[in-house]
A and B are shown apart, each in its own frame.
Chain A
């Protein structure tokens, strides 16, 4: 075994691509080197913004191997007298083997159709020779989110060679010796002179150490590369860069695992030698809303908010690639850029506050919500009227008040789209509306506006969601769904240009936190649908839209529940029961009470975990029962007609279980779990499809009654594994 080292040096690659590119390099190398019988082991990859590095242990030559080459069929390979024919001789010559190693055998085992073949012993080639062929494959093998033409050519038969950014150097060494590889210029679509050739020369940091006349250095091994880079202000290992950043953020008084964690992660691939700089924002900006400060910091300068200093001045941390001597310049520069941005923000904020949100609603008429669905003014009017209607019909006084507030919030919800602040910082939409609304409206209304774009309008983790916020968010999202479904824009496959799935998940997440019935989805959707028809002058009310949205939301519910970690088969079991009752009632019962759905799933998950074997057995039995019963209308069980003891025992047990309250899913499920023995005995001892029709009908009725026992909670047959499927028989 010996070490293979490969470094691709390039101009700054986009930071978000790097870890993915490194993964591609590692897996491609492992598979190619494996196919080449080099027995790769200890394959590791590292990266910075300017390089990808792979190091691995390889055999110093390929293993030898035996191959069988196939030639012509027997009747061509042998002449009339049974000697090798000219054709066979030609084959032997082509394969460089003597005639006496040729044999006749079937290509496919057992076939009578014989062909001539030659077994050849192939010597393994030395690894450097093999690697020279592998390098172009590795270079060509990357998938970039976006590639560029950089006038390069690769001699691998495919010619023009695009990459993520121009390649500037390559180190390729096996056991300390250079593995040759060359990238050529491409001129007028043809190969020209060499451009980048592999060698042993790597490059250090662009700027440090200061004063170095040559940034390059020669290496013989990975250890030398790593040490050389360390001495030249390049931290090759992304984990070490992340650690350095974390430590410096802690020194600056920040919390590296808090909200800033994703940002810090992003920082670690931006520069080869990360240095955290800390800046202070002048106090004149201290009264700007936190949302504005954080947006300017995070979105525009990729800076993280730090705790304020003792005078209350906001502080921030930003990433840089400088040495200690340049930290001051870097920090001052960041402050300058941030202050310029905040000055803009200050100006827009002051200007915007000269007018009320209310006075901006009419201007929304000039902004298209969606082609074919009118303006944002139309949208807010539609949503407000629906919420007002909900307030009128609410039976409880607090609910009526909440819906009245939601109606206010909905009317104002989009008004910030025409403020200067949101034009300048679009990511603040909603939040700015909330901030401006707080000046004249109640906090409940302001919060509802501020939160209504969010996936789930919960103010902060652990706080309860208000009905005003929930209603505002759900009505807005539902209005968007209804509109897009009306014009045939429902998501298909991976295409979801209007992020409708996300909207659906938002509705589901909100309703899972809310008292059932507080937001009546079906009613609200129906009213929105009618409001669209009225507004747009559409004659037909398109009721089919509502059914499809119901199905869509149940599908989103399934997705949300899965993302919460519930077993897919448990979710299926509970949702299948809801689907059944929906089909009976004509209402979408899953959506009428989402917390109950999740509660049932929790109960079933818990019991399933505790009594896995019992439920697996029941699942099979229920599946069988379902298949047997099919669509047969359930008759009445006649206890007198039973002939077998096991029938009587099962019926008695069912009656017992029916005594548990159906409203307590856990009790019901537990009771059903207790039926396991009787159910098994029944299927073992009884033929349901008996010749006597009366007997058969009675048994079918018994099975229906068994199924009905838990249908309100779950369709247990869904727990059955597909491999456990048995044909429907009795």
Chain B
């Protein structure tokens, strides 16, 4: 059995649905990783249990290679699972999902190797591993510790599968563009033109001044919402933070950012991401103050 890319997605959906996950859709604004989806970033906050799986198209303009590189993509696809709280057998569950994909861990070198995930822009970090399959990283496995600068409880397990990598492995392809997206339909057919045009845009055509304005405008809007619009604006504000983050990524690829500028822009995104997280927690789980306490 050699699953196509869409077969892998369907299998993971079935697997995680059977294990109690809600099957969601990817975020509908540009993001660099499944972690940035509100289904992860905001759901891991607060006490409520949550189990979800979804495919996240992830745009990383600096990784664009015009479709020339067999391993690098402007846009790749992650399958993201959040299990909150993390079950005691979460590693075994994950290994079972590999078996469902047709990878028997006994036939391969499957290793959990230390790799602690951190996103300075989101004020988020976690403890965990990269999962290596015969030396190839196919999954990032993280116990979230903080998001938006807030220490988490309960702790969520995040499993992020690199779908292209897994497909390349299963189909024994050295070039991602030779992967079968569906039986008889190649990744090249589906995605190559997009890789070329979006790489070209990010590296050559993107208007630096415009993106600088987009960045500032998006952050300004998020800030305005958080500071002046009262409660229940966190989700809307978060969309603007994501837009700012994407504008930043485009600028980064275009070479429009100096080293010091870069640090200060990341810091601005982080401040607002933390503001969103705090506002969301306040909306959803307000601290009950007991009146009459002396």
Q: Are B70 and A343 in contact (CB under 8 A)?
A: yes
In the complex, are the beta carbons of A165 and B127 less than 8 A apart? Answer: yes
- Counted as pairs of residues, one from A and one from B, with CB atoms less than 8 Å apart, the total is 110
Q: A148-B143, A336-B174 are in contact. Are A330 and B109 (CB under 8 A)?
A: yes
A189 to B154 alpha-carbon distance, docked (Å): 9
User: Which A residue sits closest to B116, measured CB to CB?
Assistant: A146
A208 to B145, CA, bound (A): 32
Chain B: interface size category? 35 or more
Q: Are A323 and B133 in contact (CB under 8 A)?
A: no
CB distance from B63 to the nearest CB of A (A): 12
Q: Tell me, in angstroms, the Cα distance from A11 to B136 when the chains sit together.
A: 20
Q: A322 with B108: in contact, given A12-B113, A149-B145, A149-B153 (CB under 8 Å)?
A: yes
Known A166-B143, A326-B109; 15 more pairs at CB < 8 Å: A12-B113, A148-B127, A150-B143, A187-B154, A318-B135, A321-B110, A325-B107, A333-B108, A333-B133, A333-B169, A336-B136, A339-B174, A343-B70, A343-B71, A366-B258
Q: Are A151 and B135 touching (Cβ within 8 A)?
A: no
Which 9 residue pairs of A and B lie closest in terms of their CB atoms, listed nearest first? A333-B134, A14-B114, A320-B109, A330-B109, A12-B112, A148-B127, A334-B135, A207-B106, A337-B135
Cβ proximity bits A675-697 to B, threshold 8 Å, 1 near / 0 not: 00000000000000000000000
**CB contact between A151 and one of B69, B116, B155, B258 (< 8 Å): that residue:** B155
The residues in B between 64 and 121 inclusive whose CB is less than 8 angstroms from any CB of A are 69-72, 85-86, 88, 91, 95, 105-114, 116
Report if A368 contacts B (CB, 8 A). yes
Contacts of A318 in B (CB 8 A): 135
Residues of B within 8 Å of A189, CB to CB, are 153
22 contacts between A and B (CB under 8 A): A11-B91, A149-B143, A149-B151, A150-B155, A151-B86, A166-B143, A195-B88, A206-B105, A206-B110, A318-B135, A321-B109, A321-B111, A323-B106, A326-B107, A329-B134, A330-B108, A330-B134, A333-B169, A336-B134, A336-B135, A337-B134, A338-B135
**With a CB–CB cut-off of 8 A, which chain A residues contact B114?**
12, 14-15
Report the separation of the CA atoms of residues A336 and B108 in the bound assembly, to the nearest whole angstrom.
Answer: 14
CB-defined contacts of A208 to chain B, threshold 8 Å: 106
Q: In this assembly, does A538 line the interface, its C-beta being within 8 Å of a C-beta of chain B? A: no
Q: Does B129 contact A (CB under 8 A)?
A: yes
Give A152's nearest chain B residue, CB to CB: B155
Q: How many residues of A contact B (CB 8 A)?
A: 49
**Contact residues, A320-357 vs B (CB, 8 A):** 320-323, 325-326, 329-330, 332-334, 336-340, 343-344, 347
Partner of B153, one of A188, A323, A329: A188
Contact B136 A333 (CB under 8 A): yes
Q: Are B47 and A149 in contact (CB-based, < 8 A)?
A: no
| In the complex, A569 has a CB within 8 A of chain B | no
Residue numbers in B under 8 Å from A12 (CB-CB): 111-114, 129
In the assembled complex, B214 has its CB within 8 A of some CB on chain A: no
In residues 247-275 of chain B, which contact A (Cβ within 8 Å)?
258-260
A186 to B154, CA, bound (A): 8
Q: Is the CB of A329 within 8 A of B107?
A: yes
| Interface residue ranges, B against A (CB under 8 Å) | 47, 69-72, 85-86, 88, 91, 95, 105-114, 116, 127, 129, 133-136, 143, 145, 151-155, 169, 174, 258-260
CB-defined contacts of A148 to chain B, threshold 8 Å: 127, 143, 145, 155
Closest CB in chain A relative to B147 CB, distance in Å = 13
Residues of A within 8 A of B95 (CB): 206
Chain B minimum-CB-distance residue to A215: B92
Question: Are A149 and B152 in contact, with the CB atoms below 8 A?
Answer: yes
List of A residues within 8 angstroms of B151 by Cβ = 149
Closest beta carbon of chain A to B129's beta carbon, Å: 6
In the bound complex, do residue B108 and residue A326 qualify as a contact, i.e. CB atoms below 8 Å apart? Answer: yes
Report the Cα distance A408→B126, complex, angstroms. Answer: 47
Q: How far is the CA of A148 from the CA of B157 in the complex (A)?
A: 12
Query: Would A149 and B108 count as touching, CB distance under 8 A?
Result: no
> If the complex has contacts A168-B88, A340-B70, A368-B259, are A329 and B174 also in contact, measured as CB distance less than 8 A?
no
A-chain residues with CB within 8 Å of residue B134 when the two chains form the complex: 320, 329-330, 332-334, 336-337
Choice from B106, B112, B169 contacting A11 with Cβ under 8 Å: B112
Give the distance to chain A from B128, nearest Cβ to Cβ, in Å: 9
Query: Could you say which of B47, B110, B143 contacts A188, with CB atoms under 8 Å apart?
Result: B47
A210 engages B106 (CB within 8 Å): yes
Look across to chain A and name the residue whose beta carbon is closest to the beta carbon of B89.
A168
Please name all residues of chain B whose beta carbon is closer than 8 Å to the beta carbon of A332 when the two chains form the complex: 134
Chain B nearest Cβ from A220, distance in angstroms: 26
Residue of chain A at shortest CB distance from B169: A333
In residues 119-162 of chain A, which contact B (Cβ within 8 Å)?
Answer: 146, 148-151
Asked whether A301 is an interface residue with its Cβ less than 8 Å from the other chain, the reply is yes
Please, which residue of chain A has its CB at the minimum distance from the CB of B133?
A333
**A270 proximal to B (CB < 8 A):** yes
Residues of A within 8 A of B174 (CB): 336, 339-340
Residues of A within 8 A of B153 (CB): 149, 151, 186, 188-189
- In A236-273, which residues have CB < 8 Å from any B CB? 270-271
Contacts of A168 in B (CB 8 A): 88
- Per the bound structure, the CA–CA distance linking A346 and B41 in Å amounts to 38
B108 touches A347 (CB 8 A): no
Say how far B243's CB is from chain A's closest CB, in angstroms.
Answer: 28
CA distance A207 to B110 in the complex (A): 9
Bound complex: CA of A206 vs CA of B47, how far in Å?
32
Bound CA span A330–B145, Å: 33
Q: How many angstroms from the CA of A271 to the CA of B132 in the assembled complex?
A: 12
Cβ contacts under 8 Å, A188 to chain B: 47, 153
Instruction: Output the nearest chain B residue to A327 by Cβ-Cβ distance.
Output: B109
Most buried by A among B69, B88, B135, B174: B135
Q: What's the Cα separation between A329 and B88 when bound, in Å?
A: 30
B155 and A333 contacting across the interface, CB-CB below 8 Å: no
Q: Which residue of A lies closest to B129 (CB)?
A: A12
Question: Is there an interface contact between B111 and A337, defined as CB atoms closer than 8 Å?
Answer: no
Interface string of A290-333 (1 = CB under 8 A from B): 00000000000100000000000000001011110110011011
In the assembled complex, the Cα of A289 lies from the Cα of B109 at a distance in Å of 29
- Knowing A15-B114, A148-B145, A149-B145, say if A333 contacts B106 (CB, 8 Å): no
Q: For the complex, what is the distance from the CA of A326 to the CA of B105, rounded to whole Å?
A: 9
Q: How far is the CA of A343 from the CA of B110 in the complex (A)?
A: 24
| A727 to B13 Cα, complex, angstroms | 85
Q: CA separation between A594 and B259, bound complex, in Å?
A: 40
